[in-house]
Amino acid sequence: MFWNFVATVFAGLGAAGIAMGIRTLTMKRAPRWIIPVAGGLGMLAFLVFREYTWFDEKRAELAEGMIIVSQEEKQVPWRPWSYLVPQVMAFTVLDTKQIKPNQDNRDVLEFYLYRFEQSYTDTVNYQHHLLNCATQELVPLDDDKTPVVSELRTLKDDDRLFIAACF
């Protein structure tokens, strides 16, 4: 986060420097306000660029065997550009190398799902899950490895999680 702040400041300084060059080339005929406006637009452009490249950077950092099973695109009023091109704000990953079949029933798989969220500081949450490949039922487990039946959901045939885990 600190380096993003430093990079944002330098993007603003660079854009303001370009505006100063424009003022010099025009023999100061360009208005003075162009310098702070260019600095602000430079910082804003860099922040928008970072928001849109976050998902690609995180995806490139994933280890081998990790598959993205869902992603959330959001459109928010305080980011009006997100209405033109929605940005990925969160995604869920399945580590296929850590899938363990249940000893009692081979149709039941045990694994962790990792959820990455873009915010001021990037966050990663994980939760233990059970998936019954025969019935396509997914249920999270609590800290004691007890199924939380109230959060049970049935996956569709074309669900990326179901396909990645069961096939």
Alpha-carbon gap, residue 164 to 102, rounded angstroms:
17
54/67 same-domain check? no
* Amino acid identity, position 55: F
Where do we find the tokens 């208005």?
31
Domain count, the chain: 2
Cα separation values, 134 from 2, 36, 41, 138, 154, Å: 48, 62, 54, 11, 11
Structure tokens at 62: 């994933």
- 145: domain range? 63-167
Is it the case that residue 89 has pLDDT exceeding 80?
Answer: yes
103/40 same-domain check? no
165/87 same-domain check? yes
41/51 same-domain check? yes
140/71 same-domain check? yes
73/152 same-domain check? yes
* Cβ neighbours for 11, distance < 8 A, ≥ 6 positions apart: 42, 43, 45, 46
115/127 same-domain check? yes
Is it the case that residue 105 has pLDDT exceeding 90?
Answer: no
- 52-80 mean pLDDT: 93
* Cβ neighbours for 91, distance < 8 A, ≥ 6 positions apart: 55, 58, 59, 68, 70, 71, 72, 115, 116
Per-residue pLDDT band for 44 (boundaries 50, 70, 90) equals very high
* Cβ neighbours for 26, distance < 8 A, ≥ 6 positions apart: none
23/77 same-domain check? no
Where do we find the tokens 């049970």?
152
Would you tell me how many other CB atoms lie within 10 Å of the CB of residue 87?
19
Asked which of 27, 44, 61 is the last residue of a domain, the reply is 61
Is it the case that residue 62 has pLDDT exceeding 90?
Answer: yes
Helix segments in 28-117, DSSP class H: 34-61
DSSP, collapsed to helix, strand or coil, labels residue 13 as helix
68/54 same-domain check? no
51/16 same-domain check? yes
102/164 same-domain check? yes
Output the pLDDT for position 145.
Answer: 86
85/127 same-domain check? yes
Alpha-carbon gap, residue 151 to 167, rounded angstroms:
24
Is it the case that residue 75 has pLDDT exceeding 80?
Answer: yes
pTM of the entire structure? 0.83
Asked which of 21, 45, 61 is the last residue of a domain, the reply is 61
Is it the case that residue 120 has pLDDT exceeding 90?
Answer: no
Asked which of 11, 27, 61 is the last residue of a domain, the reply is 61
Lowest mean pLDDT among 3-17, 37-51, 112-126: 112-126
